[in-house]
Structure 1
Amino acid sequence: MFTGIIESVGVVKALQPTGGDIRLTIDAPTLDFSDVALGDSIASNGICLTVVAVNHQSYSVDVSRETIARTALNELKSGSMVNLEKAMLPTTRFGGHIVAGHVDGVGVVKQRQQDARSIYFEIEIPSDLARFTATKGSITVDGISLTTNLVKGNIVCLNIIPHTAQVTNIDKHWQVGSLVNIEVDIVARYLERLLNKDALVSAPQSKISESFLAENGFLK
């Protein structure tokens, strides 16, 4: 579980094909690795990936074909900047929103322009994800917890303040045409599932009713 508050920006050191998968190695000299162990999770551009090798300034992860197909990972190359966040602790300040690190789809930057000191973006997301977005709601883009200014169909409008642009890969990477990883609000995703009666039709019905509770002394 993550918060979408980026801790560091790493640089892709290597992408090594390994039997159809990829082993990705990222240099991150400013990330604190003192509490990172093999098997821990680090969100890399919003993708929750398991650490398979680590030293004091870099780590490696194995990326499956499923992850490659569903994310913008193919856009990465040696030297690419990557947003990084270690899995949250119970004591972590919850500054963003609930982020699972499970990418729902890939978006495309359609517009970028200066808006006073911030940068205004319009990002086109897959049409089937649009129903999970809302004006002034939360969305995760390349692992960054962001607030949507406005939603127009499947276009998400964002304003990025200077601090966020500077401490992430936004300033250099997000150009018109760039592909970005999208994760919708997990709460919206579950609400849609609960409200979809067709999806729940095969769910087993509970045998616990008000009469059952009364008969067994739970109600007085």
Structure 2
Amino acid sequence: MNTPQDPFTALLRQTQFEISAATLAQCPPEQGIEIAFAGRSNAGKSSALNTLVDHSGLARTSKTPGRTQLINFFRMNDQCKLVDLPGYGYAKVPEKVKKEWQEQMGEYLENRECLAGLFLVMDVRHPLKEFDVMMLDWSRHFEMPVHILLSKSDKLKRGPAKNTLFDVRKQVKPYGDKVSVQLFSSLDKTGVEDARQVLSNWFEFSADV
């Protein structure tokens, strides 16, 4: 398991904003491995990304859901990128704009060859909403690994949080072993090292490289 001093955590802390893209054509050239973060607009997606890279201001966060309207790329090194996808759900924007976001996000997810996995962030109090299930269905179709972060776990007491974890794991079991689930909190740092370990594995990280 990662520690604060381990090489992969050090690499995560080097993460820098690279570019925002409104369309697949504006995305950076295909290179190395990308891992994307998706989730409802109020699930704590950008906060989770910031926590994992230990940089509170890297990915844009807002108390107004739906502010992440572009595909945002963050560069760890030449071979590793994190991608913050547009939030879905509560965004108070015209339906036409919302549809455009979803189309561009779908195009990225379906056609981006260097995409190696998806972190799906769900509020632990409201897991597996309609779009979450749609993302899981899509991921199964394309055989894409998914790691679910049940975020804001600090909002529940230990017992109810554990019960939710057990229930979600049971519900996603039909999706097979490519889907994993954990509790996560950007506030009290629950599950941070476990999530970093998943990232390390998906990036095929080696301290010798």
Give the TM-score band, short-chain normalised: under 0.3
Higher Cα Rg: structure 1 or 2?
A: 1
Q: When you count helix as a share of all residues, which structure comes out higher?
A: 2
Q: When you count strand as a share of all residues, which structure comes out higher?
A: 1
TM-score by length of 2: 0.25
